[in-house]
């Protein structure tokens, strides 16, 4: 069913825009821009709203622009690419403010303008693609009557579909030679008759590929094979290594599991170095750099240039002094922790992934940093009295949890500990706001600083600076 002449009033969460039907029902419209007047097609009825797509734009919003990407209409990855960058960042700021007000019951704090990303495109250092012998087909393709000859694809999952892959020609999120490497691999596979994975039938040789890069132009390729890679698979890797000298590390895995996660797989080094090395300017502003080893399983912020801005903001807001004991909860491979260790007395980083903690310790050694200590374990079990008896109670605490936010037990301990300064970094302002609604009892918000790490997408990072109420 189509609803005519809908005025799109404002941006909502997750890249959707909001309008209303004549009977007052809320419409969440995909692909719309606030200011559009459009006919919208209902695709799903929910309890409190109707999900819609654009059927026809009558008057386009002045914020609209032509997307750079040829896959914009079908790919769900960059849901704001059809509006100008200034508007994208306005929508993201608004989403943070709305969540903090509606869910977080925020009653204090200065809202600082969002920090823009220096690059709108080619900012990512990591992308993952899937192979499929059952390519996703657009409605136009299905209705065209043209016989579909090739169903092989190498690209991203079609939005909401675990078993359908969209073939991607050019993706503008990672610098070159990302597209060249992917297209070479696909063409090589087609030319040599290598089979692509079929997720429903569970057969085929080529399953997924991941490309990681550093700002200085080192590349890592990780390919997962569903069938044994001996012979054809290894020959493919040999050809990629020969063709792309920039790839300094090639890994592969033989994955026959039901899922694509590499974290529990034994990855084999085909050629080159075991890790990439990323560099970041030192927090001391002395012209030196910190170096970080990035293995195939390591977490590293995916927009490395903007990660440096993020860390500088964290240090500035944390007002770390030489005598401070700083805790870094959810430390990953210790990047923020090591950055802060340069200006603090001591930093304690806590993280659940053992490989990440090993990498953090190695990164500390490589950078001659001796005042950073790393502890492995689930936050709700290890962030307790035992640790602060051993290392001292924190004067400053930084928390950068995953999208789900912090466990209630962890928040409870933060409330009990009464830490003078907390910097809460989050990539999900809704869960951050939920956590804030409990922290509110003891802490007040001083500053709210959103930062855009992922232009074109709806994702936004937010930093909250908290201090004790009393
Ligand atoms: C957003 S990342 C933070 C990374 C790090 N601060 C950085 O900038 O590189 C969140 C981290 O939390 C870790 N994590 C997730 N759940 C956890 C838990 N229950 N206990 C401890 N760490 C956890 C993840 O492994 C991940 O490294």
Give the active site residue among 52, 78, 171, 427. Answer: 427
The SS3 assignment for 39 reads strand
Question: Mutate which of 298, 351, 363, 406 to test ligand 1's pocket (most atoms within 8 Å of Cβ)?
Answer: 351
Q: Which protein residue's CA is at the shortest distance from atom 19 of ligand 1?
A: 378
Q: What are phi and psi of 395, to 5 degrees?
A: -90, -30
Predicted local confidence at residue 278, as pLDDT: 95
Q: Separation of 405 CA from ligand 1 center, angstroms?
A: 10
Given the DSSP bridges, would you call strands 396-399 and 325-329 parallel, antiparallel or unpaired?
A: parallel
Q: Which of 332, 350, 427 to mutate to test the pocket of ligand 1 (most atoms within 8 A of CB)?
A: 332
pLDDT value for 155: 97
Which pLDDT score is estimated for 69? 96
The Cβ of residue 368 has, within 10 Å, a number of other Cβ atoms equal to 6
Contacts with 442 (C-beta within 8 Å, 6 or more apart), sequence order: 414, 415, 418, 468, 469
Closest residue by CA, ligand 1 atom 15? 402
Contact 351, 417 (CB under 8 A): no
**What's residue 314's pLDDT?**
95
Q: How many angstroms separate the CA atoms of 296 and 205, rounded?
A: 21
Angle among Cα 369, 314, 89 to the nearest 5 degrees reads: 140
The answer to whether 173 and 121 are in contact (CB under 8 A) is: yes
- The radius of gyration of the chain from alpha carbons, rounded to an integer in Å, stands at 24
Kind plus residue range of the DSSP H or E element containing 254: strand 247-254
**Distance (Å) from CA 20 to ligand 1 centroid:** 39
Q: Can you tell me which atom of ligand 1 is nearest the CA of 333?
A: 9
By CB atoms closer than 10 A (0-12, 13-18, 19+), residue 143 is exposed
Say if residue 177 is preceded by a cis peptide, omega within 30 of 0: yes
Beta strands in 121-175 (DSSP E): 126-132, 153-157, 165-167
Question: For residue 415, which phi and psi values (nearest 5 degrees)?
Answer: -65, -40
From first CA to last CA, the distance across the chain in angstroms is 56
Cα separation of 180 and 186, whole Å?
10
Q: Which residues of 182-219 are buried (b: 16+ CB within 10 A; e: fewer)?
A: bebbbeebeeeebbbbbbeeeebbbbbbbbbbbeeebb
The CATH number assigned to the domain with range 126-277 reads 2.40.50.1070
* Pair 281, 338: CB distance under 8 Å: no
User: What CA–CA distance (Å, rounded) separates 161 from 85?
Assistant: 28
β partners of residue 281: 289
Atom number, ligand 1, closest to the C-alpha of residue 299? 27
- Residue 336 Cα: closest atom of ligand 1: 8
Q: Catalytic annotation on 427?
A: yes
Q: Is the pTM of this model over 0.85?
A: yes
18: Cα within 13 Å, side-chain hemisphere: 13
What's the CA-to-centroid distance between 220 and ligand 1, angstroms?
Answer: 22
pLDDT on residue 219: 98
pLDDT at 149: 80
The continuous run of DSSP H or E covering 164 comes out as: none
* CATH 3.40.50.150 domain position(s) in the chain: 91-120+278-286+299-468
Cα 299 to ligand 1 centroid, rounded to whole Å: 8
Q: Which stretch of DSSP H or E encloses residue 407? A: none
Nearest partner of 205 among 163, 166, 234, judged by Cα:
234
Question: What is the pLDDT tens value at each position of the chain, 470 positions in all?
Answer: 999 999 999 998 888 999 999 999 999 999 999 999 999 999 999 999 999 999 999 999 999 999 999 999 888 889 999 999 999 999 999 999 999 999 999 989 999 999 999 999 999 999 999 999 998 888 788 888 888 888 999 999 998 888 899 999 999 999 999 999 999 999 999 999 999 999 899 999 999 999 999 999 999 999 999 999 999 999 999 999 999 999 999 999 999 999 999 999 999 999 999 999 999 998 777 788 999 999 998 889 999 999 999 999 999 999 999 999 999 999 999 999 999 999 999 999 999 988 889 999 999 999 999 999 999 999 999 999 999 999 999 999 999 999 999 999 999 999 999 999 999 999 999 999 999 999 999 999 999 999 999 999 999 999 999 999 98
Domain 2-64 bears CATH identifier 2.70.70.10 = no
Ligand 1 atom index nearest CA of 401? 10
Which of 252, 304, 250 lies closest to 278, judged by CA?
A: 304
Closest ligand 1 atom to the C-alpha of 310? 8
State how far the Cα of 148 lies from the Cα of 439, in Å rounded to an integer. Answer: 56
Ligand 1, atom 1: nearest CA belongs to which residue? 402
| Ligand 1: residue whose CA is nearest its atom 23 | 352
Q: What is the DSSP letter of 14?
A: G
Rounded to the nearest angstrom, the distance between the alpha carbon of 328 and the centre of ligand 1 is 10
116 three-state secondary structure: coil
Q: What integer pLDDT is reported at residue 362 of this predicted model?
A: 94
**CA of residue 300 to ligand 1 center, whole Å:** 10
Task: State the span(s) of the chain assigned CATH 2.40.50.1070.
Answer: 126-277
Domain limits, CATH 2.40.50.140, in the chain: 2-64
List all residues 6 or more positions away from 330 whose beta carbon is below 8 Å from its beta carbon: 350, 351, 379, 399, 400, 401, 402
The protein residue whose alpha carbon is closest to atom 27 in ligand 1 is 332
Phi, psi of 88 (to 5 degrees): -55, -45
**pLDDT, position 279:** 95
Sheet bearing 219-225, strands edge to edge? 165-167, 153-157, 126-132, 206-213, 219-225, 247-254, 268-272
CATH architecture of 91-120+278-286+299-468: 3-Layer(aba) Sandwich (3.40)
Question: What are the pocket residues of ligand 1 if the criterion is a CB atom closer than 6 Å to any ligand atom?
Answer: 299, 301, 330-332, 335-336, 351-353, 356, 378-379, 400-402
pLDDT at 355: 86
Ligand 1 atom closest to the Cα of residue 337 is: 6
d(CA 449, CA 457): 18
Specify whether the CB–CB gap between 393 and 413 falls below 8 A.
Answer: no
Distance from the CA of 46 to the center of ligand 1, in angstroms?
33
CA–CA distance, 237 with 250 (Å, rounded to integer): 8
Report the residue among 312, 330, 426 best suited for mutation to probe ligand 1: largest number of ligand atoms under 8 A from its CB. 330
């Amino acid at each position: 069913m189509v609803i005519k002449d809908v005025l799109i009033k404002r941006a909502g969460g997750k890249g959707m825009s909001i309008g209303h039907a004549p009977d007052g029902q809320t419409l969440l419209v995909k692909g719309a821009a606030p200011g559009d007047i459009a006919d919208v097609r209902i695709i799903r009825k929910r309890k409190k709203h109707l999900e819609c797509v654009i059927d026809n734009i009558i008057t386009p919003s002045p914020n609209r622009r032509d997307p750079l990407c040829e896959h914009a209409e079908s790919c769900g990855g960059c849901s704001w690419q059809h509006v100008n960058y200034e508007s994208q960042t306005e929508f993201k700021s608004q989403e943070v403010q709305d969540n903090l007000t509606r869910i977080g019951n925020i009653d204090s704090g200065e809202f600082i303008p969002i920090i823009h990303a220096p690059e709108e495109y080619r900012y990512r250092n990591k992308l993952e693609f899937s192979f499929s012998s059952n390519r996703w087909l657009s409605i136009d393709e299905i209705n065209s009557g043209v016989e579909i000859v090739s169903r092989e694809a190498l690209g991203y999952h079609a939005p909401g579909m675990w078993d359908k892959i969209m073939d991607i020609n050019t993706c503008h999120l990672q610098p070159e030679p990302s597209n060249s490497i992917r297209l070479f691999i696909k063409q090589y596979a087609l030319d040599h008759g290598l089979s692509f994975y079929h997720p429903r039938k569970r057969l085929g040789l080529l399953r997924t590929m991941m490309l990681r890069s550093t700002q200085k132009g080192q590349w890592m390729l990780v390919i997962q094979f569903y069938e044994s890679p001996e012979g054809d698979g290894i020959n493919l890797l040999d050809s990629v290594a020969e063709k792309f000298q920039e790839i300094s590390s090639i890994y592969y895995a033989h994955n026959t599991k039901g899922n694509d996660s590499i974290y529990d797989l034994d990855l084999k080094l085909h050629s080159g170095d075991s890790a990439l090395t990323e560099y970041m300017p030192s927090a001391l502003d002395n012209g030196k750099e910190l170096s970080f080893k990035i293995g195939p399983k390591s977490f590293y912020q995916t927009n490395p240039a903007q990660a440096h801005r993020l860390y500088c903001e964290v240090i500035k807001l944390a007002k770390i002094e030489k005598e401070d004991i700083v805790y870094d909860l959810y430390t990953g491979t210790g990047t923020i922790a090591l950055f802060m260790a340069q200006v603090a007395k001591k930093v304690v980083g806590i993280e659940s992934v053992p490989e990440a903690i090993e990498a953090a310790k190695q990164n500390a050694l490589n950078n001659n940093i001796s005042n950073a200590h790393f502890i492995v374990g689930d936050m709700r079990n290890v962030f307790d009295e035992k640790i602060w008896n051993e290392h001292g109670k924190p004067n400053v605490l930084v928390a950068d949890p995953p999208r789900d936010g912090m466990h209630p037990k962890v928040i409870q301990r933060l409330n009990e500990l009464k830490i003078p300064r907390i910097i809460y970094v989050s990539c999900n302002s809704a869960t951050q706001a939920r956590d804030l609604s409990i922290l509110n009892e003891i802490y007040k918000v001083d500053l709210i600083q959103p930062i855009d790490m992922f232009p074109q997408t709806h994702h936004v990072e937010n930093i909250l600076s908290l201090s004790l109420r009393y």
